[in-house]
Each structure stands twice: as structure tokens, then as C-alpha cells.
Structure 1
């Protein structure tokens, strides 16, 4: 009888030692709270380049709001230069499909921007501006844009009744670059005509 009691006693001592030595540490570790971890997919230089390209786009958009064709062309020329110096090659580390898609979309941006610079008619310039936006929007999605939230907006009558057009804005407020402040028919009454269709948030 003594041997079973001795074994039971050793078991109880070992259990108590475990409880007092190890259990408090486990509970303490469980109390440590960690915040969400976020990491940048792209280099700082890549993100700076995309932010600069978008700044040129927004400068062009504001020029159209004011029907300033010279300012729009100047911003467009800067956009082309920034597109030429983009660091899309960094995307090769992901997959070839992502890189090739982004490269094609950026190519469309540059082609439409080059067309805009040759135009003399403000309405035709706005058509090219529309197409630039239609190319930048999927580009931002493809590269998982990491900048501040942007807004994809729409005017249902940008080029006449039932002829809509989209653009990208840095704010939720609708400031229409197609009808703008100096429209030949509406003057500035349709400046805020439009709606929010989507937002582009950092991935």
C-alpha cells in the first residue's frame, strides 16, 4: 500500500509544481494584445511614382473643371513623363500576368494622353481624358494601389443626354470635369452633377 501512495504523492507534487510554475506564464502570455500587422507590397519609390502620376492626373482634371486647355495639356505632358519613368518592373516579382496587365494598361494611359496633347477641340480633349481615366482605374486595381483612398465618379450626361463618362477624384465631393464651371450651355450650374460609383482603397 505504501508504494501506490508514494506514486500518488509524487504525481500530486509534480502537478502542483507545473501549475504554479508554468500556468501563470501561459495566462500572462495570453493577456498580451497585438495589433494588426500591415506591410507594404511595393517599394517607397514605386508608391511615390504612382502618387506623382495621380497628382498629374488630378491637376489635369482641375484644368478641365476650369475649361483651361493649356493647363490640361501641361498636366498631361507631365503625366506621360511620369508614366515613362514608372517602376512597374517591380511587379515582375509577383507574377508575369500582373506585370503584363499593368504594362498594357499603362500603355493605354500613355496612348490616350499622347492623343489629348494633339487635340485642339476641348470636347475632344475631354474624350481623351475620359479614356485616360478608364485605363488608370483598372491599373490601380491591378497593382493593388497603396496610396490614399480615391473615388471613381460618374456624370450621366458628360457628352450629352445619356452619354456618360467617369473620372477619378481624390475627394468624395463631386466636382465635374466634363461640365465644369464654364460649360457653354450650363455655365457652372452642373459643376456638382454626378455620383460616386466606387472607391479605390489601399490593399
Structure 2
């Protein structure tokens, strides 16, 4: 073979090899994955579970009031009282300022639930439930409850004497209670 032909063929082979080695890599598509932050509560799992039991009983009682069901309100108020008595509040004792501030609303909730259980008329029970809701909201703010998102709603009752109440809710919505009296 001719020397003049070998050098260009060799040069083309080197360039082709270099191109395949360095420049012919398929670029993988960039996947824009957004990592979700792990939700970490500042309270222990046992406290959050006992608080969830309280909130479940509270929401069940709310359903009883919405449905004007005095039997359901009576049953769920007893369940709420038991859940409040078994609330694992001991871990909050680490921060004495928060613990002492949280005891007031918690004791008020227990007193109001006891009063709610003793009342016979649904209107009086609703007034007590309003106080339970306000004190529970204050308690949750004091301990900085962070296991789930809750909203504090203004509820309007249509009855013989219309009035407003505030309740805790799992999601934000406008709710109007109808007159069933």
C-alpha cells in the first residue's frame, strides 16, 4: 500500500475511534425527581397515637352534633373523656413551660366534657362543645401539635336561636348546619 494512503486512513481511524470513545455517549435523560422531606414530629409516636385517639373521638362527636344525634353525642363524649384521661402527656414534662401551660386547657377540656355529659338539652351540649373546641385548640397550639393539619372553623347553627360555634376540622370547608328542630 501506498504511504500516502496509509496516513490518511490511519488518521481517519484514530479520529473515528476517538469520536466513539469520547463523544458518542448517549446522554441519559435528566429525571427531575423532587425528594419528599420525611415528616418528623417533635413528639413521640406514643403521644401522637394517644392524641390521635382524642382527635378521633372529638371528630366522631362532631358528626353526632352535625346529625343532631344525642345518643351519638353521649356515646362519643364518654369515649372522649376516656381518651383524655389516657392521654400520654408525660413526654411534654421535659419542657416545663409548655407542660404547665398545657395543663390549664387540658383540665378545662376534661371539665367541659364532664359538663357536656351531664347536660340534657342539645343546645347546652353545643355550648359545652364550643368550649371543648376552644380549649382543645388552645391545647394543640400550646403543645405545638404537628402530626396532622387541623383547621379551626366558625360554624353557624340555624335553630330557634341561631348562634355561632368554632370547631376543629380536618380540612377547610364551609359548613352550614340546617335546622332540624
Pick the TM interval, shorter chain.
Answer: 0.7 to 0.9
1:118 corresponds to: 118
1:192 corresponds to: none
1:60-139 correspondence to structure 2 within 5 Å: 60-93=61-94, 95-139=95-139
The question of 1:39 aligning with 2:37 is answered no
- The verdict on how the C-alpha distance between 1:37 and 1:78 changes in structure 2, with shifts beyond 3 A counting, is closer
Structure 2 Cα separation of the partners of residues 131 and 85 of structure 1: 20
1:183 corresponds to: 180
- C-alpha RMSD over aligned residues: 2.2
Structure 2 Cα separation of the partners of residues 54 and 67 of structure 1: 20
Higher relative contact order (CA 8 A, sep 6+): 1
How many pairs align? 147
- Post-superposition offset of 1:80: 0.8
Unaligned runs of 5+ in 1: 1-32, 185-203
**3-state SS in 1 of match to 2:113:** helix
- The verdict on how the C-alpha distance between 1:37 and 1:168 changes in structure 2, with shifts beyond 3 A counting, is closer
- The verdict on how the C-alpha distance between 1:37 and 1:57 changes in structure 2, with shifts beyond 3 A counting, is closer
2:22 corresponds to: none
Deviation per residue, 1:45-92 (Å, 9 max, x gap): 100011110110000000011110111011111111111111111111
- The verdict on how the C-alpha distance between 1:84 and 1:36 changes in structure 2, with shifts beyond 3 A counting, is same
TM-score (norm 1): 0.66
2:21 corresponds to: none
Structure 2 Cα separation of the partners of residues 49 and 149 of structure 1: 16
2:14 corresponds to: none
2:58 corresponds to: 57
